Structure 1
C-alpha cells in the first residue's frame, strides 16, 4: 500500500490538497512516469485509450492476479476498475487460462468456423431471453453500430432516438453534448428516465424513427439505473410506432444472470453485448429477434453482408464460451452482485455518518460515487459536482492501494471477496475522515 493522505485539519483549499496528493502520487511512481514520458514519443498522451489517462499521469501495470494488479514501481492494488467492467472474471481465472492455452497450441487464426463459435452462440441464446439469434463482432462499439445500421435498413427509416449522457461506444458518445467524432446518424435526444417525454418523442417521430437505443443502466453516464416503468414505456411506444428497440447491455448484462432485460421482463428487439463476454479477449455481439438477425444469413436472398476478420477469432470464442458456461454460473452471478449491493450500501453509510454530501448509485457489481446531493435519478444533478472532489478521491484511493476510476465508477470482478470489500470500505471511510475540511458537507 502507498502512503495515504495526512489528516486535513488546517484551513487549506481543495486545490492545494489535490495538488499535494498528486505530488505524493508522482513521487511514489517514478517508473510509471518514465514509461509515460517514453510512450508519449509515439503515442499521443502516452497511451491509446482516452479513458485510461488522468493527471498527473496514469499508473502503469506489469501484471495481475485475481482481483489485484501490480504497477511498474512494485505497488499492488485491489482492482475496482476491472477494465471498465470487461474484466469481470479477474486477471487469472484458471479455466479461461487453460482454454486459451489449448486453442493457442491448436492454431490461432484458423480462417474458418471453429469448434467454439457455435457453442458460444448457443450459450448466449440460452442465457439471455431477448436473444433468439446472435452475430459476433469485435467490440461493444461495433455491436451498437451494427444494430443501429440494421434497424435503419430493416425499417427503411432514418432517425435514431438516443439519450443525453448515454454512451454506446467511441463513435456514439453523448455525454456533455456529444463528440465531434460521432457517426453522422440522424439522432434525436431525450432525457433519461423521463417516461412521458421520451414516449411522446417516439410517437412524435412516428414513421421517421427507425430505433431507440438505451442502456438499462447508464454506464459512462454515472451508473443511473433505468426504472422498469421507463423501459416499459419505451417498449410500448416503439411497438405502437413500428420503431425497433435496442438495449445496449454491453455493461449491464453482468448485473443479472439473464441481463437487465431479463431481470426487468422487458424484451427489446435488439440486444448488444461486449466486454466481459469475451472472457478477457476482444468481443462484441448483437442479437435479438430471429426474424431480424436472420437477415444476416448468407444463404438467404438479399442477406445483409456482415464482415469482420476477427468476428469468430478462436481466442475470444474459447475464452468467452468457457467464461460464460463454466465461470459465470447463476450462483456466481448472484454472489458478486449481492456483494456489490453491500459495498454500495456500506459506502453510503460512511458518507452519511461522516456528514459528507455524496451518494453511491448503481446496481449489483457496477456503481458510481458522486459528490452531490441524492437521490440521483437523471444525469442533471451530476452537473453540480465539483470535479476536483472526485479527483482527490481518485488519487487518494490509489495511494491507499485501491485502483479506481477517475470518474468514480467501480466495477467488481468475481474474485473480489468479503475481505476486499471490508478493506475498501475502511479505506474509503478513512479518506472521508481525513479530508472533511475540504469535502462538501451535508445540509439539512
Structure 2
C-alpha cells in the first residue's frame, strides 16, 4: 500500500484521544462509578487518600491475590503498582499472613512490650549501615516526623532542609514548595542533584540547621535517582556544619539489603523506613546513630516521649520478622533489583526505537514514565500536554490489563512472573504503535 493510501493514525489529536480513552474507561466501570457517587455523600471528593483519586472516578478494587487485582466491575489486572512500594510481597504471601494471624490469635492489643519487636529491631539494625538503634511507628510519615524531632532535639537547632519536589509523608509534601498541610517547621529548600548549590545552601544555614532530609531517589517526585556525588556532598556538608543527615528510605530501602545508602556507600546519620518492611502491614521505623537515638532513652532524665498505641502492634512486629528475616534477603533482593533494571532498559529501548518524547527513570524495581527527552536530574513542572500523555498512558495500560500509578509510576512486586513483565512490554509496544503520533517526537 502506498503511503498516501494508508488510513490516518487513529486519534492523531491528543485531546480527542484522551477524551475517547476516558469515555471507554467510564463505560466499562459502572459499579466503580456508582460506589464513587456513594462515597461523595460521606467523604469530601468521595475519597480518603488523595493519590488514589482521579477523574472521572477512581477504580474500586475488591480483591487481590499474588500480583493480581480485581475491581468491582469484574476486571482483572496485573498489579504493577505494588501499593506504591508497600506491596513488595504481593497481596497474599502466605507466610506473612500466617505470622500475622498467629500473632493476633494471642490477642490484638496487649499494651505491653513483646519479643517480636526485639527481633524485628535486631533485623533492621543488622541490615542498614546507619542504624545502631531503631524505634517503630505506624507509617513512614510518622517515621520522618520523629526522625526530624530527634534531630532537632539532639542538635538544639530548629530549621530543616528538604529537596524541592520531595515527599516525606502526608504532612511533608513539597511538590510545589510549602503546603498548608505541612508541619509548621522552619524549612529551607535544596535543588536535587545540584551539588554546588546544595553545599552552599547548607553552609549558609550553618548552625541554624538541625537536619537535611532527602530521598536517595525521589519516589513520588518521579523516581529520579540522586547521583553518588550529590549524596556524598550532602554527607560532607552535614558533617561540616553539624546538621543531621537523614535518608528517607521508606521506598528505596528495597534496592539492596541495606538500601540505597549501602549501594552508594554513603552513610547518613539517620534513616527512615516503612512500606514493605512488615510485609505490607501498617509500620514505619526510624533509626540512626546511638547518640542521636538515645534522646528517646527513658532511662535518662528528660528523654523525649514517643507515643503511639500501635507502634509495636503484634501483627506488624510478627510480619516484619518474617518479611526481613526470612523472605526478602540476599539473592532475592538483588534479583528484584536486576529485574527492574532490565525492564526499564527494555522500555527505554522501545521509546528510542519509536522516536517518541518518552522515557522511564528510576532504579531497580521502581520507575516512572516521563514524556520528555533529555536527562532528568531533578523534579520539573510538567506541561499540560505532558500531563495529558501521562493520563493517556495510564488509561491505555488499564485497558490492556495493567494497573500502575496514575502518575506513571511502576513498583514491581516479588510475585510478578516473567510473563507478566513480557506482557507489559508487549502492551507498551502496542501503546507506542497506536499513540505514537500524539506522544511528541524525540529531539
TM-score by length of 1: 0.96
Runs of 4+ in 1 over 6 A off after TM superposition: none
Distance apart, 1:78 and its partner CA: 0.5
Secondary structure of the residue aligned to 2:405 is coil
CA distance in 2, matches of 1:39, 1:379: 33
Tell me: CA distance 1:8–1:320, structure 2 relative to 1, closer, same or farther (3 Å): farther
| Residues 1:151 and 1:385: Cα distance change in structure 2 (over 3 Å) | farther
Give, in whole Å, the separation in 1 of the partners of 2:224 and 2:174. Answer: 15
| Alpha-carbon distance between aligned partners in 1 of 2:10 and 2:201, rounded to the nearest angstrom | 53
SS of the counterpart of 1:101?
Answer: helix
- Residue aligning to 1:375: 375
Tell me if structure 2 keeps the 8 A contact 1:272–1:285: yes
Q: From the superposition, tell whether residues 397 and 214 of structure 1 become closer, same or farther in structure 2 (CA, over 3 Å).
A: same
Distance 1:239 1:8, change over 3 A: farther
8 Å contact from structure 2 (residues 77, 403) kept in 1: yes
Q: Give the Å deviation of 1:320.
A: 1.4
Q: Aligned-pair distance for 1:11?
A: 6.4
Aligned to 1:34: 34
Structure 1, residues 132-168: CA drift from partner, whole Å, max 9, x if none? 0000011111111111111111111111111100000
2:437 aligns to what SS in structure 1?
A: coil
Q: Which moved more, 1:298-307 or 1:339-348?
A: 298-307
User: Would the aligned equivalents of 1:8 and 1:435 in 2 still touch at CA under 8 Å?
Assistant: no
- What is aligned with 1:158? 158
What residue number does 1:270 align with? Answer: 270
Aligned counterpart, 1:127: 127
Question: Which secondary structure does the structure 2 equivalent of 1:277 belong to?
Answer: coil
Q: Give how far 1:382 is off.
A: 4.9
Note the aligned Cα RMSD (angstroms). 1.4
Deviations 1:160-195, CA, capped at 9 Å, x for gaps: 111100000111111023321111111111100000
TM-superposition CA deviations, 1:268-317 (whole Å, max 9, x none): 11100111112121111110001111221111122111111110001111
Q: Distance in 2 between matches of 1:105 and 1:155?
A: 43
Instruction: Map 1:201-216 onto structure 2 (within 5 A).
Output: 201-216=201-216
Contact 2:11 2:17 in 1 (8 A): no
Is the 2:358–2:439 contact (alpha carbons within 8 Å) kept by the matching residues of 1?
A: no
Measure how far apart 1:380 and its partner are.
3.4
Q: Where does structure 1 lack aligned partners over 5 or more consecutive residues?
A: 1-6
Residues 1:415 and 1:246: Cα distance change in structure 2 (over 3 Å) = same
How has the CA–CA distance of structure 1 residues 11 and 138 changed in structure 2, closer, same or farther, with 3 Å as cutoff? closer
Separation of aligned partners in 2, 1:56 and 1:132: 48
Superposition deviation, residue 418 in structure 1: 1.2
For this pair of structures, how many residues does the alignment match?
A: 437
1:46 maps to what in 2? 46
Deviation of 1:393 after TM superposition, in Å, equals 0.3
Instruction: Label 1:438 to 1:116 Cα distance change in 2 as closer, same or farther (>3 A).
Output: same
Provide the TM-score with structure 2 as the length reference: 0.96
Task: Report the equivalent of 2:237.
Answer: 237
Q: Name structure 2 gaps, 5 residues minimum.
A: 1-6
Residues in 2 aligned to 1:211 and 1:115: alpha-carbon distance in whole angstroms: 32
